[in-house]
Structure 1
Amino acid sequence: MTTTIEAPRTPRTVRRRGINWEKWGWIYMRASGVVLVVLIFGHLFVNLMIGDGVKALDFAFVGGKLSSPFWQVWDTLLLWLALIHGANGMRTITNDYAHNRLVGVTLKGAILAATVVLLILGTLVIYTFDPCPAGQPVDLLPTFCPAVGS
């Protein structure tokens, strides 16, 4: 009986149809990693280096940043790219180490659920944050709110 071993680079004749999710996950990790480096260092530079640095980080600083459409988009991109990047990494680890199908599906479902919940809550915080809510006692509002100045 003779066994023939194919050469390592022999092309496969069987092609699977559909989307190659592993390939697109790999591409996403590389692309999002590059964009995340720019977003994270921009975020750190503005928060820690410009102005008074760490001493300036307070409720008013965050309220001012989140009232700007530029920073809302910046923080949304940072949130979405980082969470999906991390979830994709956890999915890859699950694929590598969860050998039982039920365990793998359960873990990937939990990762997906946690990611969706955090994306929704984080996005809501970014776009609905109001440092000067109406009807609050004036002594509890920050000094930059219009009700305090009058």
Structure 2
Amino acid sequence: MTTTIPAPRSPYARRKTSRSNFELYGWIFMRASGVLLVVLIFGHLFMNLVSGEGISAIDFAFVGGKWASPLWQMWDLLMLWLAMTHGTIGVRTIINDYAERDVTRGVLKVALYTAYTIVVVLGTLVIFTFDPCPTDAPRELLASFCPA
């Protein structure tokens, strides 16, 4: 039996595998979502802190007035979904790198995905079911567009 060794400068021959490109798509998503999150977060900070009266103006009426607009609902929703997904993929990568035993890795991933699901579902519900004009709230706390 003779074994031939390829020449050092010969092209690398890839083996045919049926693997998916999940890791590649995850890598691309992390880069794209990171750039988009920078834009979303700085827009959020500018709207909340710079364009108005600063942090002292952020109260129930401010949030009610902001979330009365579908633009800001979608802005905050996209920021929530992207930040949670971006963070979850990052923590999943850390778990895969540092958890040595399969059982530990599985438990940590179940806890991670459970926390992700709870935060995304509750955050989405808060954004879409938020009532800027509750009937039993004091008038001075309500937004200016609420009926008396």
Report the number of matched residues. Answer: 144
CA distance in 2, matches of 1:35, 1:102: 35
State which drifts further: 52-61 or 40-49. Answer: 52-61
Q: Which residue of 2 aligns with 1:132?
A: 133
One-letter amino acid of the counterpart of residue 36, structure 2:
V
- How far is 1:10 from its partner? 5.8
CA distance in 2, matches of 1:95, 1:37: 26
Report % sequence identity.
52
Q: Which residue of 1 aligns with 2:49?
A: 48
Q: Relative to structure 1, is the Cα distance of residues 7 and 132 closer, same or farther in structure 2, using a 3 angstrom cutoff?
A: farther
Q: Which residue of 1 aligns with 2:99?
A: 98
- How far is 1:14 from its partner? 2.3
Q: TM-score, normalised by structure 2?
A: 0.85
Q: TM-score, normalised by structure 1?
A: 0.84
One-letter amino acid of the counterpart of residue 27, structure 2:
W
CA distance in 1, matches of 2:32, 2:100: 29
Where does the alignment leave 5 or more consecutive residues of structure 2 unmatched? none
Where does the alignment leave 5 or more consecutive residues of structure 1 unmatched? none
**1:95 counterpart SS class:** helix
1:1-150 alignment, distance < 5 Å: 11-134=12-135, 136=136, 139=138, 142-144=141-143, 145-146=146-147, 149=148
**1:132 counterpart SS class:** coil
CA distance in 1, matches of 2:18, 2:122: 36
**2:141 counterpart SS class:** coil
Cα pair 1:94 1:108 within 8 Å, conserved: yes
- How far is 1:107 from its partner? 1.0
Cα pair 1:132 1:142 within 8 Å, conserved: no
**1:51 counterpart SS class:** coil
